[in-house]
């Protein structure tokens, strides 16, 4: 009799993913960035066939991908080994060599999009000395001329949308994650898309539905974001669709059907809503996954989404005329079905001050559980842990560890006021929320205080360091993945266009000196007595390598046990499958030492 062995843990580490995708105007070709073969490249499918073929072999991550409707070429943004200095290239739908369209070494070319007629390329960049406040450009694809449309003067500016006839454009002034304003530039005038207000709020994702009507997302005079409209002819703002306690976070306009699709959420799952511009009706659309990463709409009105769930990796789905979803790509865990993996439970608990905190609790299967719990503070901090697929989580769960991931104060998807609670308070509220969650787990009998591990990346790495220094009695071992160790040096080393927002986001080194000292993990070395593993990408532009070097050197000088991994060809994440496998195996081996 033939029997098959239980899937090896290696199968969790070899799960493929998709970064971005685009669809040709005639809906005959789907192009996507995926790591088939171990490195990210562009691949394509000739629809309705679903057999993929490669377009590039450059082995680099793609941060933007779009199709030119007029000339029928593909535009893609690639960086170099995680440095995030994206350059824009054109390539044929048949693939092959890339033509540099906007390239300047050491500079960034961000958020590109084409004019409606496909003759102009618009983008935002750090080039020409605009590394701090940025500038927006229009590049003529025919005569190769270029002009600057707007330059930032007091904060970062981002070009967001251009009218169908290119007579006006919308740009955003970003003062921080909780403060951004949309302005329409028309006839030399800068028109704010909402009424003036002293209160901080956000505006995002503008789309022109005509030469004079703009729809966008905002939380102006509201705690949760909603769909709004600005009539440029009348200079009139109006609230269009209240999502009733859900946060709108992205939208897409369907010109063929005169509909706007809105992605919204409260907590760990997304919902998709369509709004009909003609009869002003709205409806919820069922989707096959919990998290929607991107929407595309073809000229015929067919909907494509890139999405995932905790047990389903990123895949692309399309909605047929019969309004049923078809899965186009099929990335999964080899030898396992989604139901074989671990779905998280959504739990809530009261923090130290009574504030309700929502968290995801992943319980290892009883037959494989080793009784240990990994505490995971998410990155951001103005982000959230959602029902998204993490190969590392499923790998560790299969190895026997459970995982607890709270959405502490400052997380997105719970309203503006909740999100603002972390600003200038990095080492205060979120830290206490994490400890309150751990205490709650122990009180509920879900975790053993003698069997707790701690791990996080980016802000989560910072929080892992800080929790280790301030509360070492809770943890057996700690993993820090590119976390800031000293808030003073972190503030000075972030990308230049981040710096205008740092005063509000993290704090001012002079005004908030004592607070920043207390909030910096490097201050609390005496408490860091447990074994540590520190992981860092050498090309990380957000949390530079010096942040990890500093904490590792300081701890080793005190005789503490610290393992240190540096990935020379990675940045703020792991884009090469061999590196990802190397890191994840190192984490599992590290925790296994202290079971």
* Locus of tokens 């998410």: 378
> Where does 2-73 show beta strands of DSSP type E?
18-23, 29-34, 41-46, 53-54, 62-67
Q: What does pLDDT average to over the chain?
A: 95
Say which DSSP state 232 is in: T
C-beta of residue 467 within 8 angstroms of C-beta of residue 474? yes
Give how far Cα 254 sits from Cα of 242, 301, 303, 304, 555, Å. 20, 6, 9, 12, 55
In contact, 442 and 455? CB cutoff 8 Å: no
Q: What is the pLDDT averaged over residues 175-184?
A: 96
At 274, is the secondary structure helix, strand, or coil?
strand
pLDDT value of residue 8: 64
Percentage of the chain beyond pLDDT 70 is 99
Contacts for 503 with CB less than 8 Å, ≥ 6 apart: none
pLDDT tens figures, 345-364: 999 999 999 999 999 999 99
Q: In what order do the strands lie in the sheet with 270-276?
A: 247-254, 259-265, 270-276, 282-285
* Confidence band of 320 (pLDDT split at 50, 70, 90): confident
Averaged pLDDT for residues 527-538: 98
- In eight-state DSSP terms, residue 428 is S
Provide the pLDDT for residue 142.
94
Whether the per-residue pLDDT at 39 is higher than 80: the answer is yes
Burial class (CB in 10 A: 0-12, 13-18, 19+), 464: buried
> Which residues, including other chains, have CB under 8 Å from residue 129's CB and lie 6 or more apart?
none
Alpha helices, DSSP H, located in 136-267: none
* pLDDT of 7: 60
* 3-state helix/strand/coil string of 85-108: CCEEEEECCCCCCCEEEECCCCCC
pLDDT digits (tens, 9 = 90+) for 207-218: 999 999 999 999
Count of Cβ atoms closer than 10 Å to residue 36 Cβ:
16
pLDDT at position 379, please? 97
Radius of gyration of the chain (CA): 24
Q: Distance between CA 441 and CA 507 in Å, rounded?
A: 32
CA quadruple 384, 519, 494, 484: dihedral sign: negative
- What is the widest separation between alpha-carbon atoms in the chain? 79
Instruction: Write the DSSP symbol of residue 343.
Output: P
Statement: residue 3 has pLDDT above 70: no
Q: Average the pLDDT over 249-259 and give the result.
A: 94
Is pLDDT at 160 greater than 80 in this prediction? yes
SS3 157: strand
Tens-place pLDDT, residues 543-579? 999 999 999 999 999 999 999 999 999 999 999 999 9
Contact 501/559 with Cβ under 8 angstroms?
A: no
| Residue-level pLDDT at 198 | 77
292 or 10: which leads in pLDDT: 292
Q: pLDDT tens across 496-505, in order?
A: 999 999 999 9
Decide if pLDDT at 1 tops 80: no
The pLDDT of 15-24, averaged and rounded, is: 95
The answer, yes or no, to whether residue 6 has pLDDT greater than 80, is no
Task: Give the pLDDT score at 71.
Answer: 79
58-97 pLDDT tens trace: 999 999 999 998 878 999 999 999 999 999 999 999 999 9
User: pLDDT grade, residue 323 (50/70/90)?
Assistant: confident
| pLDDT of 191 | 96
Which pLDDT value is given to residue 515? 97
- Is-contact 327 343, C-beta < 8 A? no
**Is 410 in contact with 418 (CB distance < 8 Å)?**
yes
If one compares 107 and 299, the residue with the highest pLDDT of the two is 107
pLDDT for residue 245 is more than 80: yes
Pairing, β 356-362 against β 345-350: antiparallel
Beta-carbon contacts of 439 under 8 Å, excluding residues fewer than 6 positions away, are: none
Distances in whole angstroms, Cα of residue 456 to Cα of each of 247, 364, 375, 486: 25, 19, 8, 16
State pTM to two decimals: 0.96
């Amino acid at each position: 009799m033939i029997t098959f062995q239980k899937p090896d843990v290696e199968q969790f580490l070899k799960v493929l993913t998709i970064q971005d995708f685009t669809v040709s105007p005639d809906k005959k070709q789907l192009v996507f960035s995926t790591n088939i073969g171990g490195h990210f490249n562009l691949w394509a499918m000739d629809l309705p066939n679903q057999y993929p073929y490669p377009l590039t072999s450059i082995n680099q991550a793609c941060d933007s991908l779009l199709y030119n409707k007029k000339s029928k070429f593909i535009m893609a943004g690639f960086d170099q080994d995680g440095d995030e200095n994206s350059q824009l290239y054109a390539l044929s739908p048949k693939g092959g060599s890339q033509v540099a369209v906007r390239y300047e070494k050491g500079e960034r070319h961000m958020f590109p999009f084409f004019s409606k007629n496909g003759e102009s390329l618009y983008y935002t960049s750090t080039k020409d000395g605009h590394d701090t406040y940025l500038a927006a450009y229009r590049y003529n694809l025919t005569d190769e001329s270029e002009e600057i449309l707007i330059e930032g003067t007091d904060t970062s500016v981002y070009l967001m949308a251009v009218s169908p006839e290119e007579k006006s454009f919308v740009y955003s002034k970003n003062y921080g994650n909780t403060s951004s304003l949309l302005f329409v530039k028309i006839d030399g005038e800068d028109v704010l898309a909402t009424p003036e207000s002293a209160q901080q709020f956000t505006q995002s994702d503008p789309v022109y539905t005509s030469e004079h009507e703009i729809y966008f997302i905002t939380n102006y005079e509201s705690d949760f974001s909603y769909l709004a409209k600005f009539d440029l002819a009348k200079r009139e703002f109006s609230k269009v669709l209240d999502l009733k306690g859900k946060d709108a976070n992205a939208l897409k306009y369907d010109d063929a059907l005169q509909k706007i699709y809105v992605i919204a959420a409260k907590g760990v799952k997304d919902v998709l809503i369509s709004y009909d511009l003609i009869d002003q009706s709205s409806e919820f659309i069922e989707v096959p996954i919990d998290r929607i990463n991107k929407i595309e709409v073809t000229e015929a009105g067919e909907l494509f989404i890139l999405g995932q769930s905790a047990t389903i990796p990123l895949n692309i789905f399309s909605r047929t005329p019969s309004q049923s979803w078809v899965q186009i790509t099929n990335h999964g865990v080899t030898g396992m079905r989604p139901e074989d993996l671990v779905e998280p439970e959504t739990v809530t608990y009261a923090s130290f001050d009574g504030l309700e905190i929502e968290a995801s609790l992943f319980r290892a299967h009883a037959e494989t559980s080793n009784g240990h719990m990994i505490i995971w503070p998410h990155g951001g901090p103005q982000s959230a842990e959602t029902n998204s697929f993490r190969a590392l989580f499923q790998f560790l769960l299969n190895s026997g560890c459970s995982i607890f991931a709270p959405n502490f104060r400052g997380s997105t998807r719970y309203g503006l006021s909740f999100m603002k609670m972390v600003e200038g308070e990095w080492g205060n509220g979120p830290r206490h929320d994490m400890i309150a969650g751990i205490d709650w787990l122990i009180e509920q009998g879900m975790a053993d205080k003698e069997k707790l591990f701690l791990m996080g990346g980016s802000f989560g790495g910072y929080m892992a360091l800080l929790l280790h220094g301030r509360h070492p009695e809770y943890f057996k071992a700690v993993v820090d993945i590119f976390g800031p160790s000293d808030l003073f040096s972190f503030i000075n080393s972030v990308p230049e266009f981040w710096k205008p927002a740092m005063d509000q986001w993290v704090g001012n080194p002079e005004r908030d000196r004592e607070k920043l000292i207390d909030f910096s993990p490097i201050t609390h070395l005496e408490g860091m007595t447990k074994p540590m593993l520190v992981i860092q990408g050498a090309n990380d532009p957000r949390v530079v390598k010096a942040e990890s070097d500093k904490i590792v050197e300081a701890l080793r000088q005190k005789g503490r046990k610290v393992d240190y991994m540096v990935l020379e060809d990675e940045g703020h994440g792991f884009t090469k499958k061999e590196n990802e496998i190397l890191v994840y195996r190192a984490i599992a081996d590290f925790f296994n030492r202290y079971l």
